[in-house]
Structure 1
Amino acid sequence: MYFLNTSISLIVAATLVGNSHATTSRPRLVVSEADKSKEFQFLTNATEIEIEFFVNGTDFPSVPFDIGESYAGLLPNTPYGDSELFFWFFPSLNPVAKNEITIWLQGGPGCSSLDGLLQENGPFLWQSGTYQPVRNMYSWTNLTNIVYIDQPVGTGLSPGKPTVDNEVDISNQFNDFWRRFIDVFEMQGYKMYLAGESYAGMYIPYIAEGFIEQNDTEHFNLKGIQINDPTINEQNILANVPAVAALNHFSSVFSLNETFMKDINARDEKCGLTKFLNEALTYPPPKNFPVAPNPYADPDCLVWYDIVSAAQLVNPCFNMYHLTDFCPYLSDPMGFPSLAVGPGVYFNRSDVQKALHVPPTNYSLCNETVIFPNGDGSLPSALGPLPKVIEETNNVIIGHGWFDFLFFLNGTLATIQNMTWNGAQGFQHAPTEPLIVPFTTGQVENPNIWDGGSGILGTAHTERGLTFSSVYRAGHEIPQYVPGAAYRQLEFLLGRIKNLQDTGPFTTQP
């Protein structure tokens, strides 16, 4: 049913505090009497530590509007760690969100979650090629309290050298930080959701397992997770094996010459790459699940690298995160890609760092620090904690963008078909139902108003507590490219709608 199963056609869009000491010094904030008099949810009768984290939303650097109530700064991750983690917390005005919070984590490993805030789902956006920040009508704060966290140490605005060797270390340090966060903001008993993308497909299932094992619903009341375009298996399955079939499907985008296409397809056939996919992507999965080809046994089987290299020759600005991008590079306040010309890296500015209560930090989007100097010693999450998290929460969403050429949706589906949870292996039925996103007032009354897309924007299928949802026009970052679909997925994760075929309006209008 998907483009990597070349024997059948695609379902295209034609179907329509503990220890609270600080290990580094940080600027302190004096809150004005005017701010104290406002009805801030977490500043009422504020303690000294809450005031220390309060962000002045009415005068945030380069933002020409009030970004609302928020809190930012550093909290220790001790005793498992020996440093601090940076957070930026945005309370929601939605009364339904009163007793819940969503955690957003970026991947990498070593990429800052502030990328998700500034260019995906935060209350204000400053996306590539735009002049200045704008309000985000699809901000996730419309639905829930949300906190963006740079972790592990050595990522983004979290200073220090990483001290992790595997995902259990990640989970233990995060748990120590999170317990403090809950105590500081008096959120004991809140329902908690974890969401993120890419290498967060490793982070989040392991952190979620750590939450579950704490057996402490006051601080770790986990209710569900969402991981988009996630690292849940080996790169061979997620990237290399599906690459040629994806190239064939998007051949008009790549425009590679006939000689290359014949050669790469001959190599695919010789190595049995698409053959493996066609066998794996059956519903229910085959009793004797096929063994994936080993690309390291024959260099001809390492096809993904050669496809990307050829694509970069034809299109020097080829973007594996969103394959329909072309030259020129757009200016980007996050500093990605490094060749893009722009105003500088926004979160590396001293005035921005001061406003966020962090000491001077050499910020980069994806830190050059090696998070795992000896490699991540943990199993891929699909072979480790992910099935357990599904069984404990019965509320796990795996999202995937079709235009992602880093990880492929059919690599993720092949992984799911070889995974056992809640008493059965894989999906028993083809994941073909539509992902339906309601039309917005902006579209109906004024088609020129930017919005996040509406109608049938992908697929969404749920079995035994696991939902797989693909998004047609999205790349590696679903909220960045198709924010309406990402918003709808979050509504489902939070339990605001019964399924992703629900045709009712958004539960909270942007």
Structure 2
Amino acid sequence: MWFPSTTWLLPLTLAGSAQVLAKGVKGAKGAKLGTTTSHVKKPGVTYKAFEHPATSVGVGYVNNSGICETTKGVNQYSGYLSVGENQNMFFWFFESRNNPDKAPLSAWFNGGPGCSSLAGLFEENGPCHFLNDGQDPSLNEYSWNNFANMLYIDQPIGVGFSYGNNDVNSTDTAAPYVWKFIQAFYDHFPRYESRDFGIFTQSYGGHYGPGFASYILEQNKAIEAGTVEGKKINLVALGINNGMYDLELQEKAHIAFAYSNPYKQLIDKPTRDKLLEAYKSECLPALQQCKQTQTDEDCLNAAVVCGEVVETPILESSDFDVYDIRKPASDPNAPRTFSNYLARPDVKKAIGASSNYVECGYLPGQKFDGTGDLARSTMPALSEVIQAGVNVLVWAGTADFICNVDGSIAVADAVDFSGHNEFKAKALGPYKVNGKETGQFKSVDNFHLLIVHNSGHEVPQYQPETALQVFNQILQKKPLSST
């Protein structure tokens, strides 16, 4: 679950003088993009615009804007891909700093639902970040494009710089648009088609990650069978830090973590016992009803009931930040340096953005709320992805409350795969980076759990060196191992 630090919705007024529109998708096919090519010059910006007539899939992007990634010789592209009629999805792509012609490709998705992936870019694992309250970003030495070609995608429509019609109201309805996006990306950048591909995400990514990965695997099978036309996506890795997967497991974990965690006791024993009874008598039956009927009404009710009887009493118990309980409650209206930066007209023009930046879109998130998507467990999809042989990592920072380590451990121990019994019985061992313990982990076959010390919700922000090492190992299809 994600309580966005920026919850207002900026008006999606289009800067027409810097706008490149690509026509909507009329059929998700896999023919080559770029049949029609043009260079569109706007004040201060030159776009490359492409359209494939058979599918009406197009992109408009700027090449090497000079924003964020300033490492010499490292290319970047930013702009729009159309995934439907008036559905313009913003992306920012960075080549790997090392051997980009052979490096794998990875996509990053922030959670929400309804928060921009550019938050992860600037605050966690992208090529640049803001230091010491600076007004301009500086290079991030622990950027994930040290190893991989990185693709940051603003989805669904209405999030970040993406704009237009938004048909998405659940993880299931978001997945096809993500698949279309990757198909079109391959069409235009065919050199990445055969690369190993990874999905990394966080928070509501506990829904996004399993849902998107499962859909990709299903589409791959359909392509092999000849029932879907497209390019197989060589999905090899899925990593989800501080994810929300299953309320039945994780609402109970909220109570356990609030009572006993390494940093700060949030509730006393009588309150714990009272909350456990409320979970058992009110929250759990509502979740079971959602699971049984799968109706929007029942699933929305389950999410609301559990929030009221479990989460709200904990949140009202003391002053703490849900993303890092070591800190007092954060100000939801506090300025965000990168959001202010992305609002600058010169920056928007340079990266080819045609709308105002929305860090966390209220309306897109509200659509997910309306279907009760939060209460729909992604455990079956997560298990399916692991069973398919994808290298999967569940990891969490120890100071996060809202998607805490107790919940991640409960989820990992409940995953259904051939090594389930061995995994559940296995003890956590130290995870080290250059000889220093930064966490604890356990692995069986292609499934891994990592607990990261001294880290809040956004693990790569708190422990960037550890996060980069972990990312490299998982994307290389290796087991977790200390260095």
CA distance 1:404–1:426, change in 2 (3 Å): farther
Alignment of 1:287-306 (within 5 A): 302-306=309-313
Structure 1 residue 250 displacement after superposition: 4.3
Give the alignment partner of residue 307 of structure 1, picking from 314, 317, 322.
Answer: 314
More strand by share: 2
Cα distance in 2 for partners of 1:398, 1:311 equals 29
CA distance 1:345–1:268, change in 2 (3 Å): same
CA distance 1:219–1:299, change in 2 (3 Å): closer
1:198 aligned residue: 203
CA distance 1:300–1:171, change in 2 (3 Å): closer
Cα distance in 2 for partners of 1:170, 1:467 equals 26
Structure 1 residue 391 displacement after superposition: 1.3
Retained in 1: the 8 A contact 2:39–2:49? no
Give the alignment partner of residue 245 of structure 1, picking from 251, 256, 267.
Answer: 256
CA distance 1:251–1:195, change in 2 (3 Å): closer
1:499 aligns with 2:483: no
Retained in 2: the 8 A contact 1:198–1:229? yes
Retained in 1: the 8 A contact 2:386–2:447? yes
Q: Give the AA of the match of 2:459.
A: I
Structure 1 residue 120 displacement after superposition: 0.3
Q: Give the AA of the match of 1:319.
A: D
Retained in 2: the 8 A contact 1:53–1:357? yes
Give the alignment partner of residue 393 of structure 2, picking from 366, 377, 397.
Answer: 397
Give the alignment partner of residue 174 of structure 2, picking from 145, 166, 170.
Answer: 170
Give the alignment partner of residue 411 of structure 2, picking from 392, 409, 415.
Answer: 415
Structure 1 residue 201 displacement after superposition: 1.6
Q: Give the AA of the match of 2:432.
A: I
Structure 1 residue 152 displacement after superposition: 1.3
Structure 1 residue 378 displacement after superposition: 8.2
Q: Deviations over 1:453-484 (max 9, x none)?
A: xx111112111321011101111111011111
Q: Give the AA of the match of 1:324.
A: R
Retained in 2: the 8 A contact 1:268–1:301? no
Secondary structure, counterpart of 1:54 in structure 2? strand
Q: Deviations over 1:431-457 (max 9, x none)?
A: 411111126xxxxxxxxxxxxxxx111
CA distance 1:326–1:299, change in 2 (3 Å): closer
Cα distance in 1 for partners of 2:393, 2:108 equals 14
2:12 aligned residue: none
1:322 aligned residue: 324
1:289 aligned residue: none
2:55 aligned residue: none
1:232 aligns with 2:245: yes
Q: Give the AA of the match of 2:258.
A: L
Structure 1 residue 398 displacement after superposition: 0.7
Calculate the TM-score normalised by the size of structure 2. Answer: 0.75
CA distance 1:135–1:378, change in 2 (3 Å): closer
Identity %: 26
1:221 aligns with 2:256: no
Retained in 2: the 8 A contact 1:401–1:474? yes
- Of 392-401 and 412-421, deviating more is 412-421
Structure 1 residue 195 displacement after superposition: 0.4
Secondary structure, counterpart of 1:53 in structure 2? strand
Structure 1 residue 206 displacement after superposition: 1.5
Q: Give the AA of the match of 1:70.
A: Q
Q: Deviations over 1:118-141 (max 9, x none)?
A: 010111112684554221110001
Alignment of 1:97-136 (within 5 A): 98-126=102-130, 129-130=133-134, 132-136=136-140
Structure 1 residue 299 displacement after superposition: 9.2
Give the alignment partner of residue 73 of structure 1, picking from 69, 79, 91.
Answer: 79
Structure 1 residue 493 displacement after superposition: 0.9
CA distance 1:245–1:231, change in 2 (3 Å): closer
CA distance 1:426–1:401, change in 2 (3 Å): farther
Cα distance in 1 for partners of 2:305, 2:163 equals 42
Q: Deviations over 1:158-186 (max 9, x none)?
A: 10242023323211111112111111112
Secondary structure, counterpart of 1:212 in structure 2? helix
Q: Give the AA of the match of 2:364.
A: V
More helix by share: 2
1:383 aligned residue: 379
Give the alignment partner of residue 93 of structure 1, picking from 97, 100, 116.
Answer: 97
Alignment of 1:332-481 (within 5 A): 337-340=332-335, 345-359=340-354, 361-371=355-365, 372=367, 374-377=370-373, 380-422=376-418, 424=420, 427-438=423-434, 455-481=436-462
Q: Deviations over 1:172-214 (max 9, x none)?
A: 1111121111111122212111001011121121111121122
Q: Give the AA of the match of 1:21.
A: A
Cα distance in 1 for partners of 2:441, 2:398 equals 13
CA RMSD of aligned residues (A): 3.9
Which ranges of structure 1 fall in alignment gaps of 5 or more residues?
1-19, 37-42, 274-293, 313-317, 330-335, 440-454, 504-510
Structure 1 residue 69 displacement after superposition: 1.8
Structure 1 residue 495 displacement after superposition: 2.0
Cα distance in 2 for partners of 1:341, 1:417 equals 36
Cα distance in 1 for partners of 2:203, 2:217 equals 22
Q: Deviations over 1:367-403 (max 9, x none)?
A: 1223425225587454331111111134100111111
Cα distance in 1 for partners of 2:59, 2:108 equals 23
- Of 241-250 and 103-112, deviating more is 241-250
Structure 1 residue 418 displacement after superposition: 2.8
Retained in 1: the 8 A contact 2:78–2:351? yes
Structure 1 residue 100 displacement after superposition: 1.9
Cα distance in 2 for partners of 1:96, 1:143 equals 8
Give the alignment partner of residue 146 of structure 1, picking from 131, 145, 150.
Answer: 150
Secondary structure, counterpart of 1:421 in structure 2? coil
Cα distance in 2 for partners of 1:120, 1:296 equals 29
Give the alignment partner of residue 216 of structure 2, picking from 183, 188, 211.
Answer: 211
Which ranges of structure 2 fall in alignment gaps of 5 or more residues?
1-20, 26-37, 52-57, 225-230, 281-300
CA distance 1:270–1:377, change in 2 (3 Å): closer
Secondary structure, counterpart of 1:94 in structure 2? coil
Retained in 1: the 8 A contact 2:303–2:374? no
Retained in 1: the 8 A contact 2:130–2:338? no
Structure 1 residue 339 displacement after superposition: 3.1
CA distance 1:343–1:165, change in 2 (3 Å): closer
Cα distance in 1 for partners of 2:114, 2:305 equals 31
Q: Give the AA of the match of 1:502.
A: S
Calculate the TM-score normalised by the size of structure 1. Answer: 0.71
